[in-house]
Amino acid sequence: MTEMVHGAAPVTVGEPLLPKWWRTIDRWTLVCVCALFGIGLLLGFAASPPLAYRNGLEPFFYVQRQAVFGAMGFVALLICSMMSPQQVRRAGVIAFVLTFAALCLLPFFGTNFGKGAIRWYSLGFGSFQPSEFLKPAYVILAAWLMAASQDLGGPPGRSISALLTTVIVGILAMQPDYGQASLILFGWGVMYFVAGAPMLLMVAIAGLVVAGGVAAYNASEHVARRIDGYLSAEIDPNTQIGYAANAIREGGVFGVGVGEGEVKSYLPDAHTDFIIAVAAEEYGLILVLIIVALYATVTLRSLARLLRERDPFVRYAGTGLACVLGMQAMINIGVAVRLLPTKGMTLPFVSYGGSSVIAAGITVGMLLALTRTRPQGRMEDLLRRRAG
């Protein structure tokens, strides 16, 4: 009877998932990520054949594998980017539990592949590095804890996250994997700072980090050798950093030409940790600056979009993910140009490696999910209303 008098109630049809995703996503970040992966494949055509030849494989074996890893990483990125912040939080917490357990079991079931540090699980057809996946998962968990600590009667989230950070950094340092440990500590520090940590406390934490570095230098011959090599006025031309420095110098502004570089034949990690040396030698400073600009665009655009977020969890998690991604790129490039001591760290989306590419896809996918445009008042508008 009601329908006969007033007419049928209108049926609200929700916007389809893909159009809504495309409308709300940061498309510039997506384009930059695709460009970075394309550059990685381009450099793989140069860096991979010498390695394949040494291992008795087809010339483009590693390029084909990287394309498969890239497809998997892109699928992971798309799936994660379609999640809501609540789904990102749940997925991050579950992923942390699984990856932390895998990290703890590495001494018993892991392998070092002849590199001295037990960081991987050998799967027969490939390998799995838990620390790569632990980074985005821990950022999500720590952001959730910090946001929950601001609720009335909430848990002591900041203290719990600090304790977890100490445990994870300690486990990674024992592998040893100081590069990933520094990224975990950096990500937590950035989120803690955004959450309103007292400046005096941040200074105290920085002092503890410096003290830990001094202790590592005195206790580990491996660390001491790398730092001494970094501080030395002369570079041994027969080391990885020596080959990389020479390649960058030879490349100049425009490079020596496609396929004409030589560093890929001498550097054992030319396709992973020192891929930027291959880019600098063959394509010159121009390509290196393009790569830096792409990472800067992803990081800065994400931070700019997070300024409007009112949800503390979204702000902390997004800031942590963006800064960890940007810092990993900075460390990799900084090592290649001798601004930082040598670390075994890949260049996200560009370096060869399944764990690295897929984990980077998950990281950026979660970042895209958290920075999607959602109907809400901007943070600056809220602050202006409160001030008025």
Average pLDDT for the chain: 87
In a domain, 21, yes or no: no
| Mean pLDDT of the region 294-317 | 95
Question: Is 355 contained in some domain?
Answer: yes
For the chain, what is the domain count?
1
In this predicted structure, the answer to whether residue 381 has a pLDDT above a threshold of 60 is: no
- CB atoms under 10 Å from CB of 308, counted, come to 18
Amino acid occupying residue 346? T
Query: Quick one: pLDDT at residue 376?
Result: 59
**111 SS3 class:** strand
The residue whose two tokens read 């900075």 is 330
- Encode pLDDT of 159-193 as tens digits: 999 999 999 999 998 888 888 999 999 999 999 99
Q: What is the pLDDT of residue 35?
A: 97
CA distance 152 to 174: 38
Is residue 154 a part of any domain in this protein? yes
Q: Sign (positive/negative) of CA torsion 371, 377, 378, 379? A: negative
User: 70 in a domain, yes or no?
Assistant: yes
Q: Please name which of 386, 387, 376, 388 lies closest in space to residue 307, comparing C-alpha atoms.
A: 376
Strands (E), the chain: 121-122, 127-128
| Domain limits for position 46 | 35-197+234-367
373 DSSP 8-state letter: -
Among 6-20, 28-42, 345-359, the minimum mean pLDDT is found in: 6-20
Task: Return the residue matching tokens 């040893």.
Answer: 176
Tens-digit pLDDT profile for residues 242-292: 888 888 999 999 999 887 888 888 777 788 889 999 999 999 999 999 999
In a domain, 138, yes or no: yes
DSSP 215-226: HHHHH-HHHHHH
Task: Name the nearest CA neighbour of 184 among 139, 128, 129.
Answer: 139
Position 171 in a domain: yes
pTM of the model: 0.89
Q: How many CA atoms lie within 13 A of 253 on its CB side?
A: 0
Phi, psi of 121 (to 5 degrees): -105, 130
pLDDT at 345 over 50: yes
Decide if 372 is inside a domain.
no
Q: Is the pLDDT of residue 2 over 50?
A: no
Instruction: Return the percentage of the chain with pLDDT > 70, whole number.
Output: 92
Better-predicted residue by pLDDT, 22 or 239 = 22
Has residue 140 been placed in a domain? yes
